[in-house]
Structure 1
Amino acid sequence: MSFPDPVQVFRTEAAELLEQVEAGLLDLNHDLGDKEQIDAVFRGLHTLKGSGAMFGFEALAAFTHHCESAFDQVRKGTVPASHDLVNAVLGATDHMRALIEVPGGNHDAVSEMLLARLRTAVDSVGKPAPAVPARPAACTYRLRFQLPVNAMANGTNPIGLLDELRDLGDCRIVADRSTVPALDDLVPTDLHIAWTVELMTEQPRSAIDDVFIFVMDDMQLDVEVITGAGPTTGSVRKPAVEAVRPEAALPQDLPQVQSQPVAADLPAATRSAPAQADAKQAKNNENVRVPAERLDELMDRVGELVIAQSRLSQLAGVSGDLMLRAVSEDVERLSGELRDTMMVLRMVPVAHLFSRFRRLVHDLSIETGKTIELITEGESTEVDKSVIERLADPLVHLVRNSCDHGLETADERRAAGKPASGSILLSARQAAGEVIITIRDDGRGIDRDRVRAKAEASGLIAPNAVLGDQELLQLIFQPGFSTAQQVTNLSGRGVGMDVVKRTIDALRGTISVVSRPGEGSEISLAIPLTLAIIDGLLVRVGTGRYVIPLSAVEECLELSVEEDMRSRGRSFISLRDSLVPFIRLRDLFRTGSKPDQFQKVVVISTGSERVGLVVDQIIGDHQTVIKSMSKLHHDVASFSGATILGDGGVALILDVAHLVSAGQYQEAQLRAAG
């Protein structure tokens, strides 16, 4: 049995912590008085520092300590939160990632620069002279606490917690070992000791909660205020921990601890600690972190199983053995359920993708000097994880393009009667077997005259060529195309939109552009939900077999000989009082064979556009394991992939988006000719 690399586990958890810290900082930037976000950022930095020191990332721990200290001052009210401070810590999170990835690198110069920026941000805040508070009266508390059994295995150091309690004042600590098991049953990494602490301190009650802030949800903690304060003078005593026998866990001179803590002195989270610990433990048990490569490997095995099941079904279909048919049906059902379960495991909400752009828009707003607001919708929409990973770069280019080219400066927006702050909308929704991701801005829109002039100057189109609006707008995705008047750090080299086009084509997706002068632009990406296994409709055209993604199929109907002859030259069928263009796949694929007597029309759609595909035979539904096309067939636009059938043959998977576009283009040509 192989165990995960602890350092790699730390890196994974550190990445999640940094994402949480970054999200908290961005939220805090909108509301500098948000105490909840201040505490969340402080907790994240504190945990990252402690975990880094535990796993040997000393440079990370030392650097993070300064950021934590700055936010500790904010948390205590010594320093007010400011935009400069938030931006300084945001910049520091990028350096923390570098310290995690390359712990032995030479980071001293960058660390000093960032820490100087952090000190400037803290010192630049005008701090009023603090009033000298009256010396608070000392109060005595009795604490009884027990950490969860797996506390040490999870990185909690109980001695460190006791040291923090000692720092609060005069305390006496007693360890209760009554629950420690026999030596034969003892697990070295388990914690069975509880502690009783009598603490006399001038600190407020909240200081005790701060000691246990990172383990509060998983531990049992009772806090009691003891009547009568002890002496308030003299040096603070910090004795060692006393280990006593179970029967003498509490000394005679200590008053008995009440079975229930004083409710008035405890926050709700503390009063219900046992119940919260059980709920938190149950919640943690619901989630298991699995490496992505294992999911990919499992997906490959499921794909092979689906192909084998198809082979078994075909053999059972031609066999007279009823037992074989029964087994085949069971295997088909189970493989289908396993496939569906596997697909759910691979689905990831686009919120994981959209959250990356909050930081990007924040940085671009500072760099361009524009006030930009990012709005997200449909974050719960789920997409295959492999699709999510490949969408990151295209969306980065589109968002950067909207910030730099699309949105105007504040002065330009005011002159145009718009709010000074521009907005970018990122939205996602499902439509049949696709996810539609939209990037919309309320900027100046695309200047069609400049696009045409640039295209003519680059030789992409002939002078005065007649182009439809969508054809003209699609020119912005051509390699090297840019209408920027000067090259900046953000754009102007003409490579970004080309990357978008190539990536979306590789995902078998489509791009549509809508732009209104003075109102903004909208770019929609239609992407398949998954790139692994789909439900398909298996059809025959001539002697070849093809798969149509079942999610795109609306209905199937018969094409009579009379209607076939009547539609020659027009290629339209009447479907419930509307005309639907259709494509004869026999002609498109040049099969050279005669059509069957009873041809079928499969009506497919993407969004609101529909087209019919004329085939010879509809064989039936088919679980389709998608295989990539070879490089020799990469430019064949009618197909998006291939699959292996049960008899070992190969069926090509039709590219629905391309065929619908071809059908709509054919319809437009015929209407223009008519």
Structure 2
Amino acid sequence: MSSDDPIAAFLVEASDVLDAVESALLDLNERLDDMAVINAVFRGLHTVKGSGAMFGFDALANFTHHCETAFDQVRKGQVPATGPLVSVILAACDHMRRLLHGEAKDDAGATLLAQLETEMAKATGAPKGETAPVPQPAGGGWHLRFRIAPDAMARGINPLALLAELAELGPCQVTALLDAIPPLPDLDPAHCHIGWDITLTGAVSREAIEDVFLFVLDDMELELTALEPADAAPQASADHGEPDPDPRTEQTRTAPVETVRVPADRLDAVMNRVGELVIAQSRLSQIASSNENIALRSVSEEIERLSGELRTTMMVLRMVPVAQLFGRFRRLVHDLAGETGKDINLEIEGEGTEVDKTVVERLFDPLVHLVRNSCDHGLEDAEARRAAGKSPTGTVRLAACQSGGQVVITITDDGRGIDIDRVRARAEANGLIEPGAPIPDHDLIQFIFHPGFSTATKVTSLSGRGVGMDVVKRTIEALRGTIEIASQPGHGSTISLRIPLTLAIIEGLLVRVGSGRYVLPLAAVEECLELSTADDTRSQGRSLITLRERLVPFVRLRDLFAVSEPADPFQKIVVVASGSSRVGLVVDQIIGSHQTVIKSMSPLQKGAAAFAGATILGDGTVALILDIGHLLAAAGGREDRLRAVG
């Protein structure tokens, strides 16, 4: 990884390390005796401390040093790991993040360190301020030689800080290697020409030494040789020549990792260019198809192939696993369990499912609302769960899977479920429905998305003000997605989100209604069939067809869009679906598939709810992209009403 700004690179890397430490702490909270996890936490804290000192973040390094020292006693078995101790270190990680960005309060760190000291004393049973002595490591050690990159100091790397970190691991004998210093006329004062030969004694792991060089390992020379206990005594070197070859010497320097951090706005800019290229290629294909020049057609086909491959590659670059999203909820549920006093177990499935990075970013806030509601409203307390014959520990499950061109995310809890009677009572009290009106349970549940609607009996710090679920629905719909709720009283609820894999380019089905052309997301299309004259005549006033022994409502798009031209003699029905809902869309002609570059609607046109955006066709004209969710809502309830009538 390279960066023009070493401080910016450090901030990104340090944030990643803190994320890893937090994840390890959450694992440790479930397995308090797992030494592998304990060592991972210690290494992470050690890395943050050392790299912070290297880049001048002294407040971060000093604060983390206290946390590392305390956790070192856990690592050495002098202090047992406890739930409260893990919670304090988690809070300390939050403070480290604030220190990274200069947002920490002056007294917050002292308060956390006092809490840490208290928990350490509780864990050991010693009076506050007294902890078990830390024995010095004995036996073994390492011989290491290293040289940092010549321009390392110009990038903010301080070799003295590296030496100081090594000295903290154990007694060191350090000798400077001066053999690479050039003659004075050729000396560049901005470059580092010195190397170091070090004998480090004590029981130090290879990982601990490599962690010291974590941020410079890719472009430095490092040799490590394990010492036997008999060889561990520090020995001064009289000369600076190369040591004799030793079969135990291992080159820990690895080839640079083939990854590059790219700012998100650069990816967005490239994606926009790819979109323009797809549009231009479509226009070229249309011109070539009407031209008899064989060479032009050949070039058009080759450009179509290359642009398609480029589009696919660009889409893959923007895809990230939902693990990046789901992993953040482990900490949220841990904190919610503490706030509510409930035992909550979070289960995660489908972490490898990939989705566009923009979608992931915009999904976080709605998922926070949903997970909070599941923990606060959905799950009962331990006493109520025992009375209902359930385990005292409630379970919230986050799952993701890919379905066609969509990713389906479900949030499931095994709590009390949605109280339909309470929802009805609140809807009647708010004047949303007439008292006693016959409304299916599915439609009643949808009222929880109404602004200001809440069934909570009291307002808490987590929920109860009726703010959140309406925001969730608007956010999901803005992503061209849908949200569905299924609930079983006494057994829990499941909320399903169906979101497009990408917001930039989709495969679409181009159709014509009158003289206008429209695009349907191909992922939502189930099948196409012809609307016969008999069905057309019979369906007047009912707008239903029977498809494999199931009634499917359909919408005449020419009526919805007030098309004045006469209908084609043989109209077509495109059946689209979202979740368990299906609707037929009557069009005049199905033109075919189309690579659709989605363009946002202007502010003046955003009120047209039937459309999710627009695209430019090969001939330069504009086609509107239909909003499947809105069309399903337009046909919603029609089948139920007709069943009730007939």
TM-score when normalising by structure 1: 0.85
- For 2:484 and 2:132, the matched residues in 1 are separated by 62
1:542·1:616 contact (CA, 8 Å) conserved in 2?
yes
Q: 2:119 aligns with which of 107, 118, 121?
A: 121
Deviations 1:636-672 (A, max 9, x none): 3322111122233221111223334444533333333
Structure 1 range deviating more: 358-367 or 186-195 = 186-195
CA-to-partner distance for each residue in 1:248-279, whole Å, 9 max, x for gaps?
x45xxxxxx56223xxxxxxxxx8x53x643x
* Equivalence for 1:24: 24
The correspondence of residues 462-481 of structure 1 with structure 2, limited to 5 A, is: 462-481=434-453
The match for 2:224 is 221
Higher mean alpha-carbon deviation, 415-424 vs 546-555, is at 546-555
- Which runs of 5 or more structure 2 residues have no equivalent in the other structure? none
Indicate the residue corresponding to 1:532 in structure 2: 504
Gaps of 5+ in 1: 231-236, 251-256, 262-270
| Among candidates 487, 493, 498, match of residue 521 of structure 1 | 493
Is the CA contact 2:165–2:212 (under 8 Å) kept in the aligned structure 1?
no
Distance 1:165 1:10, change over 3 A: closer
Q: Distance in 2 between matches of 1:482 and 1:521?
A: 16
Give the C-alpha shift of residue 567 in structure 1.
Answer: 3.9
Displacement of 1:133 in angstroms is 12
For 1:51 and 1:579, how far apart are their aligned partners in 2?
65
On the 8 A contact 2:416/2:492 being kept in 1, the answer is: yes
Structure 1 residues 479 and 175 mapped into 2: Cα distance closer, same or farther (>3 Å)? same
CA distance in 2, matches of 1:94, 1:171: 34
Residue identity over aligned pairs, in percent, reads 57
Q: After the TM superposition, which of the residue ranges 69-78 and 208-217 deviates more from structure 2?
A: 208-217
**TM-aligned CA deviation for residue 238 of structure 1:** 9.8
Q: 1:511–1:526: 8 Å Cα contact kept in structure 2?
A: yes
Structure 2 counterpart of 1:505: 477
- In structure 2, the residue corresponding to 1:108 is in which secondary structure? coil
> How far apart are residue 221 of structure 1 and its match?
1.3
| 1:66-465 → structure 2 map (5 Å cutoff) | 66-102=66-102, 107-127=105-125, 143-146=143-146, 152=152, 159=160, 173-174=174-175, 193=195, 195=197, 197=199, 203=202, 205-206=203-204, 210-215=208-213, 219-225=222-228, 227=230, 244-246=239-241, 249=242, 259-261=246-248, 273-274=250-251, 277-278=253-254, 281=255, 284-285=257-258, 287-465=259-437
CA contact (8 A) 2:50 2:165 kept: no
| 2:7 aligned partner, one-letter code | V
Whole-angstrom distance in 2 between the partners of 1:603 and 1:134: 73
Say whether the 8 Å CA contact 1:149–1:192 is kept in structure 2. no
1:560 deviation in Å? Answer: 3.6
Per-residue CA shift, 1:15-70, capped at 9, x if unaligned? 21111111111111111111111111111112112222222222222222211111
Per-residue Cα deviation, 1:310-366 (whole angstroms, up to 9, x for no partner): 222222233333333222222222222111111111111111111111111111101
Question: How many Å separate the matches in 1 of 2:49 and 2:211?
Answer: 15
After alignment, is 213-222 or 556-565 more displaced?
Answer: 213-222
Contact persistence 1:478–1:498 (CA under 8 A):
yes
C-alpha distance in 2 between matches for 1:562 and 1:175 = 94
Amino acid aligned to 1:21: V
The structure-2 alpha-carbon separation of the partners of 1:403 and 1:671, relative to structure 1 and needing over 3 Å to count, comes to same
Equivalent residues of 2:55, 2:156 under 8 A apart: no
Distance 1:135 1:547 in 2: 71
| Residues 1:495 and 2:497 are matched in the alignment | no
SS in 2 for 1:125: helix
Match of 1:586?
A: 558
Residue in structure 2 matched with residue 266 of structure 1 by the alignment:
none
Question: Residue 171 of structure 1 contacts residue 238 of structure 1 at CA under 8 Å; is this kept in 2?
Answer: no
| 2:50–2:161 CA contact under 8 A, matched in 1 | no
Q: Look up the SS of the partner of 2:123 in the other structure.
A: coil
Evaluate the alpha carbon distance shift between residue 314 and residue 353 of structure 1 in structure 2; reply closer, same or farther with a 3 A threshold.
same
Cα deviation code 1:488-511 (max 9, x no counterpart): 111111101121112112112211
**CA deviations over 1:114-161 (Å, ceiling 9, x no partner):** 12111111122235899999999x868672544675895797765556
Q: Which amino acid aligns with 1:7?
A: I
- Once the two structures are overlaid, the 10-residue window that deviates more, 150-159 or 331-340, is 150-159
Is the Cα contact below 8 Å between 2:178 and 2:193 reproduced in 1?
A: no
Cα 1:89–1:189 change in 2 (3 A) is: farther
Quote the RMSD (CA, aligned, Å).
3.3
Partners of 2:604 and 2:133 lie apart in 1 by 80
CA distance in 2, matches of 1:175, 1:624: 63
Residue type at the aligned position of 1:260: P
Deviations 1:558-592 (A, max 9, x none): 33434433444444445556554432222222212
Match of 1:54 in 2: 54
Contact 1:611 1:660 (C-alpha < 8 Å) held by counterparts? yes
Alignment pair present for 1:7 and 2:32: no
Matching residue's letter, 1:472: L
Between the aligned partners of 2:140 and 2:324, the Cα distance in structure 1 is: 47
Return the offset for 1:102.
2.0
Q: What CA distance in whole angstroms lies between the structure 2 residues aligned with 1:342 and 1:501?
A: 29
Matched to 1:293, the amino acid is: D
- Are 1:161 and 1:211, in contact at CA under 8 Å, matched by a contact in 2? no
